[in-house]
């Protein structure tokens, strides 16, 4: 059993849980919970709704929505990002309808019968794939996160903003992706020896483009066609996207229309004027591909309130672009002491992992933090250490997140 924060431990947690059920009214459960066993609720006495062709969440869950940011307002309503409401989600898979969206020029309305993928440049045999042709290749299925390198840039505001966790740290999602290994298509086209990079270009009006090293293309890059068992959602790149597991989301080019094998990087606008890391001395790093080791507590998290003292489960998500998550530690005293959380899903590389730790809140002020370590031994940096290195850079903020629990139970975003 993992170490527990608080005095009573897991047994006390379970005991109190049972007590909550018998003392339902005093614990704040609906008064109907007691009456239910006798007469039953109204819905137990009438015939239920009919079938639907495509299911939707309960109408009682409709407040669970993406956090939409539109920096250009009505001028460009599809430019910007819509962040996943990670504070409302559990497990590691992001429902497709709540996957974060980061798009530069809106979601194109692509007819898969007209769309093609061109593979050309330094190849022996240039190829054009219809979507139907791609669909006939052997496929692979893997669970991976996609994180925008701009994720958590709102946590760089001079003063901590008070927003739900997802509105700051939800420019990430994790799906089960299915598609054709890019290696297979490159083999068929016959990469020439001098081909060291691939230009990947999207069919949106921004023609978002990035240069990809051939080593990554031949490693675990995927031409993704399915997301969580369904064809890709339009916002995620329907009918076809590039997926580069563990690398900054920007490189997973959506609505993929072209791959061109080249000798060197193309230096597109999306990898020169944007997605470079400015350093305090005015120089900038180009090509920070891998996403750093990171974690965030989603429950409890900012803007939530703990209604009473007692036991809570601290839960959240961790991930690393370098591979698997090996450890997540949790502190409830702002980093003075740490305890190991239990991990779920840590066998999957470049995927979200769910961590959990029971915690007893005694009513005292607390500062909750999580710190992830990956299989390469990389440890999530403290906020101050990260800022010392990248004070002016809006990308790749993987520093430790702190939530302060006040004596009143209100949870706030704080800088520690
Ligand atoms: N063609 C195209 N591909 C794109 C983008 C885009 O605007 N156009 N945005 C990129 C960025 S910045 C990110 S973070 C990821 C986001 O993928 P998602 O919207 O599926 O989360 O897609 C990348 N691929
Ligand atoms: Mo991004």
Cβ contact 307:315 at 8 Å:
no
Neighbours of ion ligand 2 (CB under 5 A): 102, 148, 249-250
Atom of ligand 1 nearest to the CA of 206: 8
Same domain flag for 302 and 189: no
- Is 82 part of any domain? no
- Is 72 part of any domain? no
Q: Print the domain residue range for 326.
A: 294-414
Distance CA 64, CA 90 (A): 12
Q: What is the dihedral of CA 101, 105, 106, 111, to 10 degrees?
A: -110
Backbone phi, psi, residue 322, to 5°: -90, -10
Distance CA 104, CA 79 (A): 5
- H-type alpha helices, 103-196: 131-135, 165-169, 182-189
Same domain flag for 136 and 214: yes
CATH number at residue 151: 3.90.420.10
- Is 218 part of any domain? yes
Looking at 225, 258, 282, the residue that finishes a domain is 282
The set of residues, in sequence order, having a beta carbon less than 8 Å from that of 125 and lying 6+ positions away, is 188, 189, 190
Same domain flag for 225 and 299: no
Domains in the chain: how many in total? 2
Same domain flag for 237 and 334: no
- For residue 33, the model assigns a pLDDT of 55
Tokens representing 378 are: 């990389």
Q: What angle do CA 216, 219, 222 make, to 5 degrees?
A: 85
- Tokens 């933090």 identify what position? 369
Expressed in angstroms, the distance from the first to the final Cα of the chain is 30
Q: DSSP assignment, residue 383?
A: H
- Give the tens place of pLDDT for each residue, 121-155: 999 999 999 999 999 999 999 999 999 999 999 99
Same domain flag for 278 and 308: no
- Least Cα distance to 223 among 180, 261, 177, 178 occurs for 180
Same domain flag for 138 and 251: yes
Same domain flag for 223 and 134: yes
Q: Which ligand is nearest to the CA of 269?
A: 1
- Is 14 part of any domain? no
Distance CA 366, CA 331 (A): 9
- Is 106 part of any domain? no
Same domain flag for 234 and 272: yes
Instruction: Return the best residue to mutate from 103, 169, 201, 268 for the ligand 1 pocket (most ligand atoms within 8 A of CB).
Output: 103
Distance CA 341, CA 389 (A): 28
- For residue 4, the model assigns a pLDDT of 47
Cβ contact 355:331 at 8 Å:
no
- Is 65 part of any domain? no
Same domain flag for 310 and 353: yes
- For residue 22, the model assigns a pLDDT of 44
- On the 0-12 / 13-18 / 19+ scale of CB atoms within 10 A, 206 is middle
Ranges of residues in the chain with a pLDDT under 50 are 1-4, 6-8, 10, 17-27
- Is 16 part of any domain? no
Looking at 262, 282, 302, the residue that finishes a domain is 282
For ligand 1, whether the C-beta of 236 sits within 6 Å is: yes
Bond into 42 cis (ω within 30): no
- For residue 26, the model assigns a pLDDT of 44
Looking at 219, 248, 282, the residue that finishes a domain is 282
Same domain flag for 220 and 313: no
Alpha-carbon 195 to chain mean position: 32
CATH number at residue 370: 2.60.40.650
- 11 alpha carbon to ligand 2 midpoint, in Å? 44
Distance CA 411, CA 314 (A): 13
For ligand 1, whether the C-beta of 241 sits within 6 Å is: no
Instruction: Return the best residue to mutate from 145, 237, 240 for the ligand 1 pocket (most ligand atoms within 8 A of CB).
Output: 237
- For residue 36, the model assigns a pLDDT of 57
Tokens representing 257 are: 């229309």
- Is 61 part of any domain? no
Cβ contact 155:167 at 8 Å:
no
- 2 alpha carbon to ligand 2 midpoint, in Å? 36
Same domain flag for 275 and 313: no
Same domain flag for 326 and 391: yes
């Amino acid at each position: 059993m993992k170490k527990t924060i608080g005095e009573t431990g897991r047994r006390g947690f379970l005991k109190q849980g049972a007590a909550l059920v018998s003392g339902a009214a005093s614990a704040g459960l609906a008064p109907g919970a007691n009456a239910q066993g006798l007469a039953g609720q109204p819905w137990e006495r009438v015939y239920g709704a009919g079938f639907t062709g495509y299911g939707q969440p309960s109408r009682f869950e409709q407040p669970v929505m993406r956090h939409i940011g539109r920096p250009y307002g009505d001028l460009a309503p599809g430019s910007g990002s819509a962040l996943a409401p990670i504070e409302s989600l559990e497990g590691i898979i992001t429902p497709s309808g709540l996957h974060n969206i980061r798009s530069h020029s809106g979601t194109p309305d692509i007819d898969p019968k007209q769309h093609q993928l061109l593979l050309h440049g330094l190849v022996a045999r240039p190829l054009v794939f219809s979507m139907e042709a791609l669909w006939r290749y052997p496929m692979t299925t893997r669970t991976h996160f996609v994180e925008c390198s701009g994720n958590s840039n709102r946590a760089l505001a001079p003063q901590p903003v008070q927003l739900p966790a997802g509105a700051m740290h939800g420019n990430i999602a994790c799906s089960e992706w299915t598609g054709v290994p890019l290696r297979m298509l490159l083999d068929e086209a016959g990469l020439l020896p001098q081909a060291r990079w691939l230009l990947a270009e999207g069919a949106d009006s921004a023609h978002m483009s990035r240069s990809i090293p051939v080593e990554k293309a031949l490693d675990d890059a995927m031409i993704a066609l399915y997301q969580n068992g369904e064809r890709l959602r339009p916002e995620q790149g329907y009918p076809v996207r590039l997926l580069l597991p563990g690398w900054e989301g920007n490189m997973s080019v959506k609505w993929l229309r072209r791959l061109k094998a080249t000798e060197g990087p193309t230096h597109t606008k999306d990898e020169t004027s944007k997605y470079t890391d400015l350093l305090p001395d005015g120089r900038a790093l180009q090509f920070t591909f891998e996403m750093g080791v990171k974690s965030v507590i989603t429950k409890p998290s900012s803007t939530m309130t703990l209604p009473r003292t007692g036991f809570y489960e601290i839960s959240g998500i961790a991930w690393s672009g370098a591979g698997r998550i090996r450890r997540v530690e949790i502190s409830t005293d702002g980093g003075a002491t740490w305890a190991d959380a239990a991990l779920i899903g840590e066998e999957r590389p470049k995927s979200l992992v769910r961590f959990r730790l029971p915690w007893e809140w005694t009513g005292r002020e607390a500062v909750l933090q999580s710190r992830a370590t990956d299989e390469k031994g990389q440890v999530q940096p403290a906020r101050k250490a990260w800022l010392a290195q990248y004070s002016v850079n809006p990308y790749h903020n993987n520093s430790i997140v702190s939530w302060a629990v006040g004596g009143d139970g209100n949870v706030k975003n704080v800088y520690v």
